[in-house]
């Protein structure tokens, strides 16, 4: 079971509000990621981080921003929410894993449960 947490799980908010989606992991992983996923669609990478004080934009342009002040924490902020931001946001982290059933040695991503955001 992956130790990566996201809060809130669900958020309904009005247009123009500032929101922060929290993500934390207790596995000591250096790399962390934010994905956006619409129903029935593939995950799109919007932000990632190699480690503390490192943040990069992903493939999908996003008006959100991220910060990485601590290894375990990777919050995502929207300064002014809009209906077009309605989506599911998934946080992930990655690190070296040991061999186990169905898994090979190497790096794999562990995902949090996601935050479903609805902007009215």
Structural Rg of the chain based on CA atoms: 14
Residue with Cβ nearer another protein (70 or 99): 99
Q: What's the rounded Cα separation, in Å, for the pair 7 and 23?
A: 7
**Length, in residues, of the chain:** 120
Tokens representing 4?
A: 């990566």
Q: Is the peptide bond before 8 cis (omega within 30 degrees of 0)?
A: yes
- Three-class secondary structure of residue 40 per DSSP: coil
Which of 36, 46, 76, 112 is in the footprint of another protein by CB under 8 A?
Answer: 112
Residue selected from 14, 40, 70, 96 as contacting another protein according to rule CB under 8 A: 40
**β pairing state of 10-13 and 115-119:** parallel
**Residues in region 41-100 near another protein by CB under 8 A:** 41-45, 48, 50, 90-92
* Residue 16: CB minimum distance to another protein, A: 27
Considering the complex, state which of residue 69 and residue 104 has its C-beta at the smaller distance from another protein.
Answer: 104
Residue from 28, 83, 113, 120 in contact with another protein (CB under 8 A): 113
Binding site for another protein (CB under 8 A): 2, 4, 6, 31, 40-45, 48, 50, 90-92, 101-104, 106-114, 116
């Amino acid at each position: 079971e992956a130790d990566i947490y996201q809060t809130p799980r669900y958020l309904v908010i009005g247009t123009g509000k500032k929101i922060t989606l929290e993500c934390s992991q207790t596995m000591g992983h250096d790399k962390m990621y934010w994905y956006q996923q619409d129903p029935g669609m593939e995950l799109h990478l919007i932000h990632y981080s190699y480690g503390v004080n490192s943040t990069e934009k992903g493939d999908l342009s996003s008006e959100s921003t991220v910060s990485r002040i601590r290894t375990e924490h990777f919050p995502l902020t929207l300064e002014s929410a809009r209906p077009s931001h309605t989506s599911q946001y998934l946080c992930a982290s990655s690190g070296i894993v040991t061999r186990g059933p169905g898994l090979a040695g190497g790096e794999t991503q562990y995902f949090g449960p996601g935050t479903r955001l609805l902007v009215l």
